[in-house]
Structure 1
Amino acid sequence: MTRYTILLISLLLFHEKKSAGSHSIWILATLTIGETPFPEFSAVVMLDDIQLFYYDSDVQRLIYKHHRSEHEHTEQKDASLIFGHQYRSMKDRALFSKHQLNNTDGLHVQQRLVGCELLDHATPGPLRSWDAFNTVNDEELHFSMKQNTLQSKGLWPTMWSHIERDSVEWLFANVYTPACIRFLKKYLHIMKNDVMKKVKPRVRLIQKTLTDSGEVKVTCLATGFYPRHINLTLLRDGQPVPDHHITGGAAT
């Protein structure tokens, strides 16, 4: 006989800080300075949690992970321009940061995360970008199409002149954000059978009586669900179990 009766486990699908109807596309780019067996620059393009492409400075072309596009020639040309610019700008920043911090030896890493999203009812969301050198964030940009404003913080924005800031804001408003939203809409249509699917989780409950206290430890194992992020709610006698009673998915 268990101490408590758990009547219901509710698994609600969600996508981190986003509503069920929103989707996003992200570029995750990494540049390294120092000896490694990997390309100096590499990037992946993600639609929600599905990888669309891979690109690096050795192959210098998109590697398709799913469907090849009928517009591949145009996409390869665009990729060369976009990732070529990302490569150069990230390398310039990494070399500058390395010099400023007087880090002459070892491995150094510049990382960038940039992307946009479509909210409910296909409303364009903001374009966001983060840069970090050796895991220390040195830039964060947030452009809102609705308000037509660029918010920024970090090392690099503080070094911009008024002309440089106006140039960045113009690029975000007229190039980066529209291109990102168009690309997102295009691949949402191409990959709709993958990104729109919803698979309910398979749930197992495992209970174990603790010999020292006599309490019952209940572990919930959920597998096979999609989207791959869940919000887990445990109800004990019809009431939610407090968060401080749950550790790693186990309630006592």
Structure 2
Amino acid sequence: MKVVILLFIFCPLASSVIHSLKYFDTGSSHVPNFPEFVAVGMVDGLQMFHYDSNTQRAVPKQDWMDQVTTGDPQYWERETGYMMRAQQDFTTNIETAKQRFNQTGGVHIVQFMSGCEWDDETGNINGYQQHGYDGEDFIALDLKTETWVAPTPQAVITKLRWDLDKARLAYLKNYYTHVCVDWLKKYLQYGSNSLQRTVPPSVSLLQKSPSSPVTCHATGFYPDRIVMFWRREEEEVHEEEKHGELLPNHDGTFQRSVQLLVDLSSMKSEEWQKYHCVVQLSGRKDDIIIKLDPSQIKTNWKDPATIMPIIIGVLVAVIFIMAAIGVAWYMKKKAKRPPPSPDSGSELSQQLNLMLHTELSLWTRWGIKQTSVHNSGTCQLKIIH
């Protein structure tokens, strides 16, 4: 009986893929160097549409969007018109929200997210519309009950008014459960080369300092359905790890990380290597497994012994540059003086030797030792280890 239950739990999850079509609109006031209104469309996490109040143009962000709009030359003009009206609505919404929260000036942000999800195996469909204000939930649509949910008292007025609009609720339910899903399937068909591809991640081990947690970082992967975790030998260590957020890259791929919250400073290297970072990407059969090898960890921290030769090299270069500047200064000053007397013919080498002795006395205290200074003005340096 236990075997049957395990098969029931794991088999469907391994092959089921939930696709999504989402739109994100953001209106803001008094935010420096940022458009007052921005709208983007995403299919399975890949941006395919963009509009902002600076350009005031709706534009495609994927080449395959041209196929979607074939035979409809006014498509982007209509989208631009929709977005310009939405921009005006957001300006009004910000002022309304400020009144509800008894606010006057300052920076304020109104956010709107809508879309649908479709499970390509079970056929299950889910739609949503959510509104936020200054980073907090304001009001959201519950499609199952066809009502609005107001988590804050300031949104109750809106909820009561919108709940009474049954025609609009019926329209939204039909849109999110049928129209939106039809568009999602169309986008998946035309953008199949991009949306249904599998790009494996590049996985690295990172550490800020010897006392910091080790981070397993995966980047450059697609799709965004990824599972990452640490394990010690064959046992997962869920209580000793911390997961980072899924973040988009500029090229349409994604990145994510998971930290190992284990104090490794007192462990030997062979104990470290019992830990592994495991990365599982949807569409890829084999797991990516990275052993926690100290020699493979990338870090900005450097052992002082490893950078000392670089520091000494820079100091040596500074000595000779200063010597050259001194010579040039002396020659220029000498040119303005009367001709030297016969008994001062070695003045240049004497002055240069004196200057070098003075400079080298400082570097000696920093780990550079003078071994000889000749009358020619050249010197030899020896590194003190």
Give the TM-score, by structure 2 length.
0.51
- 1:1-252 aligned at under 5 Å gives the runs 20-34=16-30, 36-67=32-63, 68=66, 69-71=69-71, 73-80=73-80, 82-121=82-121, 123=123, 125-144=125-144, 149-154=145-150, 155=155, 157-160=158-161, 163-164=164-165, 166-204=166-204, 219-241=215-237, 243-247=238-242, 248-250=258-260, 252=262
**1:44 offset after TM fit, Å?**
0.5
- The residue type equivalent to 1:137 in the other structure is D
CA distance in 1: counterparts of 2:206 and 2:94, whole angstroms: 49
Q: Given residue 161 of structure 2, which amino acid in structure 1 is its aligned partner?
A: W
* Larger helix percent: 2
How far is the alpha carbon of 1:153 from its aligned partner? 0.5
User: How much identity, in percent, do the aligned residues show?
Assistant: 27
CA gap 1:71/1:117 in 2 versus in 1, 3 angstroms:
farther
Larger Rg: 2
1:15-58 deviations in whole A, cap 9, x for unaligned? xx997511101111011233644433210001111110101234
Query: For the structure 1 residues 106 and 207, does the alpha-carbon distance in structure 2 shift closer, same or farther, using more than 3 Å as the test?
Result: closer
1:158 partner amino acid: K
Contact 1:114–1:129, Cα closer than 8 Å, also in 2 = yes
Q: Return closer, same or farther for 1:18/1:175 CA change in 2, 3 Å cut-off.
A: farther
Partners of 2:208 and 2:25 in 1: how far apart?
Answer: 44
Compared CA separation, residues 197 and 41, structure 1 to 2 (3 A)? same
- Tell me which amino acid in the other structure corresponds to 2:187: Y
Q: Which has the higher contact order (CA 8 A, sep 6+)?
A: 1
> Which letter does structure 2 place at the counterpart of 1:43?
A
Q: Distance in 1 between matches of 2:111 and 2:213?
A: 41
Residue correspondences, number: 226
How far, CA to CA, are the matches of 1:217 and 1:48 in structure 2?
Answer: 32
| SS in structure 1 at match of 2:93 | helix
Gaps in structure 1 of 5+ consecutive residues: 1-16
Q: Point out where structure 2 has 5 or more consecutive residues left out of the alignment.
A: 1-12, 243-257, 263-385
Moved more, 221-230 or 128-137: 221-230
Please identify which structure carries the higher strand content.
1
Distance 1:54 1:125 in 2: 25
